[in-house]
Amino acid sequence: MNRKYRKTVIAGNWKMNILPSEVKPYAEILKAAAGRVKFCDVVICAPAVVIPAAVKAFKDTRISIGAQDVSEHDAGAYTGEVSAAQLKDAGAKYVIIGHSECREYHGETDRAVNGKVKVALETGLTPIVCVGETLWQHEAGASLDLVRAQVKSALYGIPAEKARKLILAYEPIWAIGTGMTATPAHAQEICSQMRAVLREMYGARIARAITIQYGGSMNPGNAAELLAQPDIDGGLIGGASLDAEKFLAIIQAANQ
Ligand code: 13P
């Protein structure tokens, strides 16, 4: 594992799960084992309305709270949207941007993803920028080109000193929630190409410092092997993060 240059970040994406009232018992389990977690940063990305409960439950721990989406606008007449400033004021430190579910169900474009990344960085939130191909694109052998293009568009116009603060996540859509985890070799190949794009855009020093996560059916059984790949610096975990014990087991795999 290449842990010299960059942080390992294990992030849970609760998606549209967990009630505000359910956060406390979950937090108790994680907090009890928090002392054993030394070598990675841990983030929980909660639904916007659950963020205050999560911030309260994980206060004074090393576990940070993130959001799952953000408006690309600063403020104003955007009914239903949540601004970066509001998320930050509520205590969020991270925000997922460009998740395939937002791209698919909310019609989020590459251009919108780029706008959201800029707003998040301006506001001081750490974006977790998701990219990934569909099964059809995967089978057509188009994964690499697609992911390279997504990374380039998401980071378009973002200067190096800002880019070094963000996280990228490779989430093949065919692996999300399906149990069909990407092989460590495939995930490594794509993540190394994502780092190659960073190198082309920002040079070797910045590319080496940016955390790249893998997401898609990561679980306690496959986490260690995925996280052992040289260009995989963490995980973005959906289903398995809903169970505090399973999430903890993944965190522990990152600490080996
Ligand atoms: P699963 O871990 O449930 O496959 O979800 C991955 C994901 O979409 C995280 O953002």
Question: For residue 17, what are the contacts with CB-CB under 8 A and spacing of at least 6?
Answer: 47, 242
* Domain total of the chain: 1
Establish if 1 belongs to a structural domain. Answer: no
171 is known as an active-site residue: yes
pLDDT for 247: 96
Strand partners, 44: 12, 65
Query: Would the CB of 216 count as within 6 Å of ligand 1?
Result: yes
Both tokens of 125, joined, read 């939130």
Residue nearest to ligand 1 atom 2, measured at CA? 238
Q: What are the E-state strand segments in the chain?
A: 9-13, 41-45, 63-67, 94-97, 126-131, 167-170, 212-215, 234-237
Task: Assign residue 120 the CATH number of its domain.
Answer: 3.20.20.70
The residue annotated as part of the active site, out of 72, 99, 101, 108, is 99
Query: Range of 111's domain?
Result: 8-215+228-254
Instruction: Say what angle helices 244-254 and 23-33 make with each other, to 10 degrees.
Output: 30
Mean model confidence pLDDT for the chain:
95
Does residue 203 carry a pLDDT above 50? yes
Q: Which atom of ligand 1 is nearest to the CA of 217?
A: 4
2 confidence band (pLDDT: 50, 70, 90): very low
Among the listed residues 86, 24, 97, the one whose alpha carbon sits nearest the alpha carbon of residue 61? 24
Using the mean position of ligand 1's atoms as its centre, give its distance from the Cα of residue 221 in Å. 15
Using the mean position of ligand 1's atoms as its centre, give its distance from the Cα of residue 182 in Å. 12
Q: Is the dihedral of CA 145, 151, 156, 159 positive or negative?
A: negative
Establish if 222 belongs to a structural domain. Answer: no
| From 218, 243, 247, 250, mutation site for ligand 1 pocket: most ligand atoms within 8 A of C-beta | 218
Query: Would the CB of 132 count as within 6 Å of ligand 1?
Result: no
Does residue 231 carry a pLDDT above 90? yes
pLDDT for 105: 96
Among the listed residues 210, 193, 185, the one whose alpha carbon sits nearest the alpha carbon of residue 2? 210
Establish if 26 belongs to a structural domain. Answer: yes
Q: Which atom of ligand 1 is nearest to the CA of 100?
A: 8
- Of 90 and 2, the structure prediction assigns the larger pLDDT to 90
255 confidence band (pLDDT: 50, 70, 90): confident
Strand partners, 170: 131, 214
Does residue 137 carry a pLDDT above 60? yes
CA distance 35 to 136: 43
Using the mean position of ligand 1's atoms as its centre, give its distance from the Cα of residue 246 in Å. 14
Query: Would the CB of 98 count as within 6 Å of ligand 1?
Result: no
Establish if 114 belongs to a structural domain. Answer: yes
Give residue 165's identity as a one-letter amino acid code. Answer: K
Query: Would the CB of 176 count as within 6 Å of ligand 1?
Result: yes
Please enumerate, as own/partner, the contacts of 181-184 that have beta carbons within 8 Å and a separation of 24 or more.
181/216, 181/217, 181/218, 181/219, 181/222, 181/226, 182/214, 182/216, 184/225, 184/226, 184/228, 184/229, 184/232
Establish if 220 belongs to a structural domain. Answer: no
pLDDT for 1: 45
CA distance 126 to 124: 7
The residue annotated as part of the active site, out of 72, 108, 133, 171, is 171
Establish if 55 belongs to a structural domain. Answer: yes
Does residue 133 carry a pLDDT above 50? yes
Establish if 25 belongs to a structural domain. Answer: yes
Using the mean position of ligand 1's atoms as its centre, give its distance from the Cα of residue 216 in Å. 5
pLDDT for 36: 67
Does residue 158 carry a pLDDT above 70? yes
Establish if 3 belongs to a structural domain. Answer: no
pLDDT for 38: 74
pLDDT for 3: 54
CA distance 168 to 234: 10
Query: Would the CB of 234 count as within 6 Å of ligand 1?
Result: no
pLDDT for 39: 80
Both tokens of 126, joined, read 């750490």
pTM over 0.75: yes
